[in-house]
Every structure is written in structure tokens, then in C-alpha cells.
Structure 1
Amino acid sequence: MRFCEPITLNGRYARLEPLTLEHHDGLVAAVRDGELWRLWYTAIPTPDGMRTEIERRLTLWEQGSMLPFAVRRLDSGELCGMTTFMNVEQERRRVEIGSTWYAQSAQRTAINTECKSMLLAHAFDTLGCIAVEFRTSWMNQASRAAIARLGAKQDGILRNHQLLGDGVYRDTVVFSIIDQEWPAVRQHLRFKLDSREA
């Protein structure tokens, strides 16, 4: 299977749908939940910039470097965010899970855990990846904690990794899960999700 072949991934709490322009209005409503674009240390599209962001992700998909998804919560049927496989290296069997954001009402629910679990299962079990990477800003404490809770290990910090549009340098924290770790991480994520059902 090609790494960037569109696929729908279904869980108990959320569904990952291949991103299309038809998701535009639902994603605009989702990003307004918490005014997420106001967070200075991460890049989340504004309502007015949502179409441009969708088109950007679809262009990267056409180029073979990204597989973008819209996230739909199953309790309400509403869209609640976006996520991707990005920096796809099919020959090296590596991907990064990133460019993720969730509506404020979806944060600290089972949705992120389940979406990451579905993406990791697809990466390791279907695509045969040897490593899955996560990157976030040093300043994004919530994201760093969420990645660590998945069972990913911190590889290091890329100092002055990016110069942001406002002239601020971003230090990027790199995490990964490797294929030998996946069975334990999968069991850990299943336990977390099953505990919510109890």
C-alpha cells in the first residue's frame, strides 16, 4: 500500500476521514471552538485561512509527502480537528504524525488517544513503518505532555529549528516510537481507551 493512499480509519470515539474541501465549513466551526489560532507557539489556521490550509495539505498529498485527515467525533457527528501523516519517507518506512489540532471541546477527551492509536496502527501494522515521529514546539507544554502520554520517547531538541513569521525562533522537541516498541505502546493505548469505557 502506498503511504499516501487515502483511507478512512474508524474508532469508537472518532473517525479519520481523508481531507477534502467539503470539510471546510465543519473545520471552520471546529477551529472557532476555543479560538485556537490565537496560540502563538503553534500554527493553527484561522477561520478565514481554512480553505488555504486545506488546499496546502491537499497539494502536499498530491506531491506524496502528506496524508491529511479531518477528525470527526462520533458522539455528535461534528468535525473537531485535523491531523496528518507528514514528512512521508516511504523508501525509509518512516512518517511523522503532525499538523494536528483539535477543537477545545475535544481536548482532554479520548479522541486524541484514539486518533493517535489508529494512525500508529495503520503506520506499523499496515504500512510496515520502522519509526513514527512526533514534533512540537518546546513552548507547547500541552502537546509535549500528550505525546509523552502516548508512550513516545523524546529523541532530542532541535534548537533554533524554525524562524516563525513573527521573528521568534522555535525550538522543536522530537519524539518517536519505533517498531519494536509498538506492541507495548499499542497495549498501553488500548488500556487507556478501555479504562474510559469502564
Structure 2
Amino acid sequence: MKEKWISHPTILKGTSIDLIPLEKEHLEELYIAASDKELWELIPSDCSEKILFDKNYKLALSEREAGNQYPFVIRHKETHQLIGSTRLFEIFPSDRKLEIGWTWITKEFWGTTVNLECKLLLLTYCFETLKTNRVQLKTKDTNYRSRKAIEKIGGVFEGILRKDRIQHDGTTRNAAYYSILDDEWEAAKSKIKIQIEKKQNLTS
């Protein structure tokens, strides 16, 4: 079993959201949020389908026990509703590196501060608590919206892995890989905070 780098439970508290550890009791409510097929159009597994949802999220719980993943649900502070999920995975304590991914939020919160706040909480935890050297992010090579968002928070493009994943429909996906390193974190953190402030000003 892999060394458990992330202590359990880890709760990350933000301004509009909290990231809390995924538990079995969250699955029913989380699936209701995940059942919108549009959320999964650019993600390899279509978790709007109940069988695939159960498979992937029950696997995430067992992978946490093995020290391979740490899944969170995103809870909206004002409504107390679950509005999405994210996780840490590809966890390698000996190399002080991991990946942030499997992030999705309900359409109601697209274009708000939620995704930025989610990334700020996770990256702050990774670099300032875990003392990671490297945090990796990836997305489908043709998902230009996601790629632009990663670049805006300081992600450095590293290249394309061709036919990196087989998707739920049997087609293959090329993946665009990005990373943020420990000595790039302060600049990235400033970029994220500026973007959050801009969005807050637009809605105030």
C-alpha cells in the first residue's frame, strides 16, 4: 500500500464553497448534481449514467483507502448543496508530486468564482501544506476553454499525449498536459486571486 501523504479527513474551507471529503452518504445527492449529460461532454467517463457514476465514485473511495486518490465534494456554503466534485490523484509522495482533476461543477455555477476558488484551495493545500514540488493538470486537447482556464491560473503547457485515454464512447482522447511548480506558485496564486476579485466586482 502506498504511503498516505494526505491525512483524512482533510477539509478545505473557502469563501463561497468548502471542499469536503467524499463519503458514501454523499453519493445520492452528488449523482443528482452529476446527472446533467452536458457536464461530461469533454470528460472521458460519462458519469451522468448511474452505473458509471457509481463505479467511478465508489472506486474513488477505495482508491483513497489505498492512498492513490483523495476525492472531494464541492459544497456551496450559502445553500449547503453539493454542486460538484474534484480530486487529487496520481499521488507520488516520494517525488512530492500529484495531479488535480476530475473537476466538475453544475452549470448554475459556470462562469462564477467557484472553479477558481476550488483551484485556489487545492493548490494552496498542495504547495503550502503538502509542500509539493509539482502539481499536474490535464484536459482534452480540443477543450480550449479548459486549456485557457488552466493557463490563466499559471499552468505551464508541457505537451500533448496522443491517444492518452479511451473515452466512454470508445473513441480515443489526446491530453494536453500542464503543470505548476513550487517556485511558480506565488505568481500563480496572485493570478487566481486577481481573477476571483474581478469576478466578484462584476457581480457586486
- TM-score, structure 2 normalization: 0.89
Which of 47, 51, 61 is matched with 2:64 structurally? 61
Identical amino acids, percent of aligned pairs: 28
SS at match of 1:91: helix
Unaligned runs of 5+ in 1: none
1:172 is matched with which residue? 175
The structural deviation recorded for 1:41 is 4.8
Query: In structure 2, how many angstroms separate the alpha carbons of the residues matched to 1:61 and 1:196?
Result: 34
Query: In structure 2, how many angstroms separate the alpha carbons of the residues matched to 1:71 and 1:173?
Result: 25
* CA distance 1:143–1:66, change in 2 (3 Å): same
Query: In structure 1, how many angstroms separate the alpha carbons of the residues matched to 2:41 and 2:168?
Result: 13
SS at match of 1:166: coil
Q: How does 1:131-170 map to 2 (within 5 A)?
A: 131-170=134-173
The structural deviation recorded for 1:2 is 4.5
* CA distance 1:44–1:110, change in 2 (3 Å): farther
Query: In structure 1, how many angstroms separate the alpha carbons of the residues matched to 2:27 and 2:166?
Result: 28
AA partner of residue 187 (structure 1) = S
AA partner of residue 65 (structure 1) = N
SS at match of 2:95: coil
Q: How does 1:86-125 map to 2 (within 5 A)?
A: 86-125=89-128
RMSD: 1.9
* CA distance 1:44–1:144, change in 2 (3 Å): farther
Which of 2, 5, 14 is matched with 1:3 structurally? 5
Structure 1 window deviating more from structure 2 (172-181 vs 187-196): it is 187-196
Query: In structure 1, how many angstroms separate the alpha carbons of the residues matched to 2:84 and 2:60?
Result: 14
AA partner of residue 38 (structure 2) = L
Which of 182, 186, 193 is matched with 2:185 structurally? 182
The structural deviation recorded for 1:139 is 2.5
Q: How many residues align?
A: 197
AA partner of residue 81 (structure 1) = G
Equivalent pair of 2:42/2:140 in contact (CA under 8 Å): no
Query: In structure 1, how many angstroms separate the alpha carbons of the residues matched to 2:200 and 2:42?
Result: 35
1:42 is matched with which residue? 44
* CA distance 1:45–1:178, change in 2 (3 Å): same
- TM-score, structure 1 normalization: 0.91
Equivalent pair of 2:11/2:18 in contact (CA under 8 Å): yes
The structural deviation recorded for 1:37 is 5.5
